[in-house]
Amino acid sequence: MLSADARARIDREIAKYPADQRQSAVMSALAIAQREQGWLSTAAIDEVASILGMPPVAVYEVATFYAMYDLKPTGRFKLTVCTNLPCALSGGAAAAEHLKARLGVDFGETTPDGRFTLREGECMGACGDAPVLLVNNLRMESWAGGEKLDRLVDELAAAADRGEGAPRGGEGGR
Ligand code: FES
């Protein structure tokens, strides 16, 4: 199910490790699969396991341990807000409530239009920049409160309408 391009990128990750340790590329391979599919279906995880020569359950253990992997479809833009104590005390809790109200969803939920998924995140190592959030695991927004959050949501909503963000075609996967 992965494209030739994704397979080639996974092969490049595998090549970074000794030949008998290709399983060391598991996190990169899962990230590549998720970026292409939008989330990690059973079929995608099984394919990564096959490529790496790992038991599927071992790949599942990785995919379920780390919060950046999604085991079910998300919205085009996943917003992960840090609510750990240093952030929570510096506007993170308020930013989370602001986003819940603006998007009409709770943590772990996706907006009915499929544009956004809201997540609660752990410390991102940027406590001095609170509130902080991640967009699709890659883009960090600092001092993200109030009007800045609203501008971000407006920007991403427009991008979602242009078909940008995580692919949405994988909902029918296993
Ligand atoms: S507590 Fe939020 S980034 Fe550290």
Whole-number Å distance, alpha carbon 116 to ligand 1 midpoint, is: 22
What's the average model confidence in pLDDT over 80-97?
96
Entry pTM: 0.88
Kindly report the CATH number assigned to the domain that includes residue 85. 3.40.30.10
pLDDT in tens, 21-35: 999 999 999 999 999
On the 0-12 / 13-18 / 19+ scale of CB atoms within 10 A, 112 is exposed
- CA dist 169 and 174 (Å) reads 12
- Count other C-beta atoms under 10 Å from residue 28's C-beta: 17
- Statement: residue 172 has pLDDT above 60: no
For residue 58, being part of any structural domain is answered with yes
Ligand 1 atom with minimal separation from the 126 CA: 3
Pocket probe for ligand 1: among 83, 84, 140, the residue whose CB has the most ligand atoms within 8 Å is 84
For residue 171, being part of any structural domain is answered with no
Pocket probe for ligand 1: among 83, 85, 120, 124, the residue whose CB has the most ligand atoms within 8 Å is 124
- Residues at CB less than 6 angstroms from ligand 1: 82, 84, 86-87, 123-127, 130, 132
Ligand 1 atom with minimal separation from the 92 CA: 2
pLDDT in tens, 109-167: 999 999 999 999 999 999 999 999 999 999 999 999 889 999 999 999 999 999 999 88
- Among 125, 155, 120, CA closest to 140: 125
- CA dist 25 and 30 (Å) reads 9
Region class of 92: left (phi > 0), else alpha (psi between -120 and 50), else beta: alpha
Q: Is 50 found in the same domain as 123?
A: no
Q: Is 115 found in the same domain as 61?
A: no
Q: Is 156 found in the same domain as 81?
A: yes
* Residue 121 φ/ψ, nearest 5 degrees: -115, 160
Domain boundary among 45, 65, 85: 65
Q: How many domains does the chain have?
A: 2
- Statement: residue 174 has pLDDT above 50: no
